[in-house]
Chains A and B, each alone.
Chain A
Amino acid sequence: MVQLVGSLRKELADSLSTCKVLVVGAGGIGCELLKNLVLTGFKNIEVIDLDTIDVSNLNRQFLFQKKHVGKSKAQVAKESALQFCPTANITAYHDSIMNPDYNVEFFRKFVLVMNALDNRAARNHVNRMCLAADIPLIESGTAGYLGQVTVIKKGMTECYECQPKPTQKTFPGCTIRNTPSEPIHCIVWAKYLFNQLFGEEDADQEVSPDTADPEAAWKPEETAARATASEKDGDIKRVSTKDWARSTGYDPVKLFNKLFKDDIMYLLTMDKLWKKRKAPTPLDWHQLENSACPQEDSPVSGLKDQQVLGVWGHCQLFQQSVETLSSQLQEKGEGAELVWDKDDPPAMDFVTAASNLRMHIFSMNMKSRFDVKSMAGNIIPAIATTNAVIAGLIVLEGLKILSGELESCRTIFLNKCPNLRKKLLVPCILDPPSANCYVCTSKPEVTVKLNVHKTMVLSLQDRILKERFGMVAPDVQIEDGKGTILISSEEGETEANNSKFLSDFGIRNGSRLQVDDFLQDYTLLVNVLHTEELERDVEFEVVGEAPDKAPPPQTNQEEVNSITNGNKDSAQPSTSSKGQHGRKLQLDWLTEAYNCGGSNSS
């Protein structure tokens, strides 16, 4: 006779009270998940989150109140959950899951791991740890009204990295520096400018006109000539933007005239660029000052941030923010750097002003601070209900796993509207592991196209192995018969190699590198394919994938999904609810729209 404890059969209820589970993330999904786990009868829960509570979390992360702002999410989530279930045994870690303390042995304590994350790097890492420990992982994501849950079990299902995910959308340097055509280009430029003036200067974040732009040359030989000419141009080119700004005392008007007048006039001399494009119009500070109309009383019915300022308004905002930021910088002393933060008002003001001035110069409609903040700050709109639904589904999948019913586990999509078969929640059968997966097959292997004479060891480590292939602490050996160690994860050991080129170590076309991440218990064999012909601004290519355009994988689905606009290019990042995707989504890119590699804002 069936015995029930609440809704559950007794055997299941009993196992819930003894098993240990791990929740990675205590934010939108995490709070809802913790509540569901505790109410369902899970007694031993560990939760980890590196973040602290922000006021913008309070519309959905219901375990937090205003008085908790600034405190650890994991810690407060635990305390709030204990309020309604004092007998639960909850351990909270205010830490990053990528910390080597959380090794395979740590993961093996758990019968189930549930992700409640917002960034791909952590997801990749937890994926590998769960594969290494052979623990089932429930993966999930939400963005706006949309959500997704899936189950990952080694050997039985796809792992998180089996399907290539669309890579982060990046813009070519010449688009940012010379020929912006969309507001986002101007916003990226403004963020680069912030770093050049006040933050960590980065060679990949140049803001001055790109004289070596191939589009600017009437004849191919010109490009090279222009490049060398500008280098010989002396002062302006050799002095860093920050040093130049400092030499002017961060005078806002001088900065303004260089960036929004002189540099634009220089661009105009590259006339080929403007043959088929609308040419930019330079701005003059004093002209704008003299023709400025007194500000009309703007209507207050909207949010203050949603007003769009006029050109002179942005000039003033530029001036104010430059003054504030430069004095902040001075206060910090010698060699100081500011870090851009969307929640730091002068930093946000600066990007709002600079990007808008540039938009205006390039004939684009200017944007409100509200809209600029969305784009510059990678903000994903979020509400409580979507997270509540997804967290409910996570626990239901978890119960199936604990009942030993893995075959009944599904990937479930939450749509905004019902599909043609009237489904709002669409369960799909889980796919088996991919034979080509470079993570979960028994001997993973990839081929990478790059220029061995131009790729530095540091780039290999940071851009390729860490960023692209998700490793945290790679060790690299060259398969040259000598087992030459190229990169050691031990700090300092191979630092001397960092700025050398791969070819300096005898690496050439056909060379093989054995890469290990011991924390992730992961070994990857990298085949090197040497090429001198990569696209501009592209450092490397993974063979078998088109960069930046990896199409959404078409795997088998139970239902035909289509909603309003039919065949949309889902590689288009969108933070709005307008895209009603019924088909299989890769929610990680949704939650990382406009993101340049970091995690979301909370």
Chain B
Amino acid sequence: VKEDPVISEEEAAQYDRQIRLWGLDAQKRLRGSRVLLVGLGGLGAEVAKNLILAGVKGLTLLDHEQASEESCRAQFLVPVTARGQNRARASLERAQNLNPMVEVHADSDRVEDKPDDFFLQFDAVCLTGCSRDLMVRVDQLCSQRNIKVFCGDVYGYYGYMFCNLGQEHNYVEEKPKLVKPTGNSNDGPEAKKAKVDPNETTMVKKTSSFCTLKEALEVDWTSEKAKAGLKRTPVDYFLLHVLLKFRTDKGRDPDPQSFAEDSQLLRQIRDDVLEALAVSGDLLSDDFTSYCFSEMSPVCAVVGGVLGQEVVKALSQRDPPHRNFFFFDGRKGNGVVDFFGPK
């Protein structure tokens, strides 16, 4: 990540409120980062907005789908007049207007058709609306080259985010400094006792290690230990397996227009998936099917907000990343972070 040392007046004024939160170094790193965003559905649009506002160097919008009437309603970057156009290209103008200081590009190719080295030009890759196989392939390829990988989707009221920041992700964490009493303290005449000075902090270096998406999805639930841990395991993890399988089998997500058939298929897939994973069929009761259709705007906002912030953290190498899944249940207002993968 190349760092241009000079921050312009314009940037300082525009980014003032976030520089005051995460510091100038973090902002500079963002400024040197290029990100690939795949999928400009509801969740993709939210992530695009968040990263463009944050001030990355470049954001590439990759989506081969056409803007439909539904997509014009579902996200705020595609104008209503753009029906029939490519979704990425249709989103470009509004996305660029969010922050002229970011280089925003649109690419209408299929992500499956992109060669390996396409991905290597980015510092981070964010995949939404992608098949399981594609995500596994891109994750494998990128994390080997120290490219940060993020995946996320929204299905009705449910959403998730996954990240793989590599086997050795380095970051800093700001901790309050303990001020020791000295004879000639420079921080005020009363600083004769040791205390935590909220104005003095220190940066502590840390490292975090991540597994691949393949490893995360292929956890073995047959062991005694795994079975014992099931009680504390978010059910969302299994729901994700079901929804990814639906996507693989049908080439699309559950569609409100075919609610009855898709609900039935979802229940069938649930039975198959839970059996294959050797876990109880009771984990996912039937009613989940009513709530996983279409991308709900407020759920996209929540998941897109968390996901966007994780990308910012990873690129700026500041603050502990969520490891390695975030699951959101919009019915309950529950948002959990949990790790799945080899211990």
- The interface of chain A, by Cβ under 8 A from chain B, is 1-9, 32, 35-36, 38-40, 55-56, 58-60, 62, 65-66, 83-86, 144-145, 181-183, 277-278, 300-306, 362-365, 370, 374, 379-389, 391-397, 399, 408, 410, 412, 414, 416-418, 421-425, 427, 565, 572, 574-578
Contacts and interface: CB of A to CB of B under 8 A. Distances in A.
A84 B75 CA distance: 8
B182 interface: no
Nearest to B156: A7
7 contacts: A40-B298, A303-B19, A381-B21, A386-B305, A387-B305, A396-B299, A422-B338
A424 B306 contact: yes
A306 to B, nearest CB: 7
B334 A427 contact: yes
B186 A364 contact: yes
A389 B301 contact: yes
A564 to B, nearest CB: 8
A408 B329 CA distance: 13
B18 interface: yes
A423 B337 CA distance: 6
Interface string B170-196: 000011100000000011111000000
A471 B296 CA distance: 40
Interface string B225-243: 0000000001000000000
Contacts of A578: 174-176, 198, 201
A300 B156 contact: no
Contacts of A56: 13-14, 16-17
Interface in B285-343: 290-291, 293-302, 304-306, 308-309, 312, 319-320, 322, 326, 328, 330-338
Interface stretch (B48-56, B57-65, B105-113): B48-56
A302 B13 contact: no
Given A425-B328, A577-B22, A578-B174, A396 B98 contact: no
Contacts of A300: 5-6
Contacts of A145: 21, 309
A296 B335 CA distance: 51
Contacts of B21: 144-145, 381-383, 576-577
A62 B305 CA distance: 14
B294 A7 contact: yes
B24 A306 contact: yes
Interface in B20-74: 20-22, 24, 42, 46, 49-50, 53-55, 70, 72-74
A412 B297 contact: no
A39 to B, nearest CB: 4
Most interface-central of A62, A66, A379 (chain B CB within 10 A): A62
A347 to B, nearest CB: 17
Contact of A39 (B73, B187, B320): B73
Interface hub of A35, A65, A300, A572 (most chain B Cβ within 10 A): A35
Given A56-B13, A388-B50, A422-B234, 20 more contacts: A39-B74, A56-B17, A58-B14, A84-B78, A85-B73, A144-B21, A301-B6, A362-B188, A365-B187, A386-B309, A388-B49, A388-B308, A393-B302, A393-B333, A395-B297, A399-B298, A422-B336, A424-B336, A425-B334, A577-B21
A3 B20 contact: no
A418 B187 contact: no
B7 interface: yes
Given A5-B256, A578-B176, A389 B17 contact: no
A418 B299 contact: no
- Residue of B15, B293, B306 with most chain A CB atoms under a 10 A cut-off: B306
Contacts of B305: 384-389, 392
A424 B333 CA distance: 10
Given A56-B14, A577-B174, A424 B301 contact: no
Contacts of A577: 21-22, 174, 319
Contacts of A5: 256
Nearest to B299: A392
A36 B14 contact: no
A7 B199 CA distance: 47
B121 interface: no
- The CB with the most chain B CB atoms within 10 A, among A6, A38, A65, A304, is that of A6
A409 to B, nearest CB: 9
